């Protein structure tokens, strides 16, 4: 029996550069991890090639639509594994939230299968496998602050975030990542994001300088679909966060605070706005 934790991610920045010939967008982003996680338990079974997933959320598929299923199936076929796999998945990361919940579960599955079957693969090898299934999965395999380029699969490890808290609020609706990117126009929506300065701020453990250079140029697009994004940001700013912005393609909004008492005030101001509200530590 193998236990794995799948941490959610937040975008400290997301700079969308252009649409590539393969249909993906070239991005330059800085991401970090937070103390909000799903939990997975992996066990071998005697039913060769059988994959069984138990999950405590009825909105999460347990068949081939699930990345966890797809990756287990890949391992069984690629490494000729003479066993089946049973997975218990406890969901805590909101679904369709721009926090890489599905990608983080997939990354945890890569790590879990590697240990369960004593395959001896490195994190780099697992990340390369993960990149075949999703752009955020390599970041989630390493599970630490990184600058991510390409379509998100090229990882440069950087300094962790200074100590701080995040208050997170997900509107009671989801948003399609593909639809957000399809509507993105670099001439209209691109924000002035300087990731070089953001990385230097992290290296210097300069919280205020970090906040100064954070940003997400998909916000204006997602706000067209989900008006709560702008509303939640304004609520958090009025409550005293140091910065409020959207993570990934959204619609989740988060605010950063240096002090826990500051985060408590923000949490109390936003918790009546939607169901999914969290106060968590930024892990890095």
Q: How far, in whole angstroms, is CA 54 from its chain's centroid?
A: 22
- Whether the upstream peptide bond of residue 187 has omega within 30° of 0, thus cis, is no
Write down the catalytic residue from 9, 91, 233, 279: 9
Query: pLDDT tens digits for 104-149?
Result: 999 999 999 999 999 999 999 999 999 999 999 999 999 999 999 9
Cβ–Cβ < 8 Å for 217, 16: yes
What pLDDT is recorded for position 80?
96
pLDDT: is 18 or 37 the higher one?
Answer: 37
Query: pLDDT tens digits for 220-238?
Result: 999 999 999 999 999 999 9
Residue 174, pLDDT > 90, answer no
What pLDDT is recorded for position 231?
96
Query: pLDDT tens digits for 41-86?
Result: 999 999 989 999 999 999 999 999 999 999 999 999 999 999 999 9
Q: How far is CA 38 from CA 42, 51, 90, 91, in A?
A: 13, 19, 6, 5
Q: Is 99 annotated as a binding residue?
A: yes
Supply φ then ψ for residue 276, to 5 degrees: -95, 95
Residue 262, pLDDT > 90, answer yes
Q: Is 96 annotated as a binding residue?
A: yes
The answer to whether residue 9 is catalytic is yes
Collapse the DSSP code of 139 into the 3-class scheme (helix H, G, I; strand E, B; otherwise coil) and give the result.
helix
Q: Is 176 annotated as a binding residue?
A: no
Residue 176, pLDDT > 90, answer no
Sorted by where each starts, the structural domains of the chain and their CATH numbers stand as 2-157 (3.30.230.10), 165-281 (3.30.70.890)
Write down the catalytic residue from 28, 38, 105, 136: 136
Tell me the pTM.
Answer: 0.94
Q: Is 103 annotated as a binding residue?
A: yes
Mean pLDDT for the chain overall: 95
What number of CA atoms fall less than 13 Å from residue 268's CA on the CB side?
Answer: 7
Residue 182, pLDDT > 90, answer no
Q: Is 97 annotated as a binding residue?
A: yes
Collapse the DSSP code of 125 into the 3-class scheme (helix H, G, I; strand E, B; otherwise coil) and give the result.
helix
Supply φ then ψ for residue 43, to 5 degrees: -135, 145
Residue 187, pLDDT > 80, answer no
* pLDDT band at residue 3 under the 50/70/90 scheme: very high
CA pair distance 274, 226, nearest whole angstrom:
13
Residue 191, pLDDT > 80, answer no
Q: Is 95 annotated as a binding residue?
A: yes
Q: How far is CA 22 from CA 18, 19, 26, 151, in A?
A: 11, 8, 10, 10
Antiparallel, parallel or unpaired: β 2-19 and 215-216: parallel
The answer to whether residue 63 is catalytic is no
CA pair distance 123, 79, nearest whole angstrom:
17
Instruction: List CB contacts of 69: < 8 A, sequence separation 6 or more.
Output: 51, 53, 61, 62, 63
Q: Is 166 annotated as a binding residue?
A: no
Cβ–Cβ < 8 Å for 45, 84: yes
Q: How far is CA 191 from CA 46, 120, 122, 187, 248, in A?
A: 53, 42, 36, 10, 14
């Amino acid at each position: 029996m193998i236990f794995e934790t799948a941490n959610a991610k937040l975008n400290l920045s997301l700079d969308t550069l252009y649409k590539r010939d393969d249909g993906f967008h070239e991005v330059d982003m800085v991401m970090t991890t937070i103390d909000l996680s799903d939990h997975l338990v992996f066990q071998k079974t005697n039913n060769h090639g059988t994959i069984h997933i138990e999950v405590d959320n009825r909105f999460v598929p347990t068949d081939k639509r699930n990345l966890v299923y797809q990756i287990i199936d890949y391992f069984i076929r690629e490494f000729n594994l003479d066993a089946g796999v049973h997975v218990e998945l406890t969901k805590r990361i909101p679904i369709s939230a721009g926090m890489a919940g599905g990608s983080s579960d997939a990354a945890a599955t890569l790590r879990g299968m590697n240990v369960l079957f004593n395959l001896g693969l490195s994190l780099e090898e697992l990340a390369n496998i993960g990149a075949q299934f999703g752009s955020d999965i390599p970041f989630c395999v390493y599970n630490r602050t990184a600058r991510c380029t390409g379509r998100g699969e090229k990882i440069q490890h950087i300094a962790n975030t200074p100590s701080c808290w995040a208050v997170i609020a997900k509107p009671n609706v989801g948003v399609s990542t593909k639809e957000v990117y399809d509507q993105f126009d670099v001439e209209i929506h691109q924000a002035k994001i300087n990731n070089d300065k953001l990385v230097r701020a992290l290296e210097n453990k300069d919280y205020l300088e970090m906040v100064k250079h954070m940003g997400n140029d998909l916000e204006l697009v997602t706000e067209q679909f989900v008006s709560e994004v702008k509303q939640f940001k304004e609520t958090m700013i009025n409550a005293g966060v140091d910065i409020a912005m959207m993570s990934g393609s959204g619609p989740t909004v988060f605010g950063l605070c240096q002090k826990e008492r500051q985060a408590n005030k923000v949490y109390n101001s936003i918790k009546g706005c939607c169901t999914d509200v969290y106060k968590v530590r930024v892990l890095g």
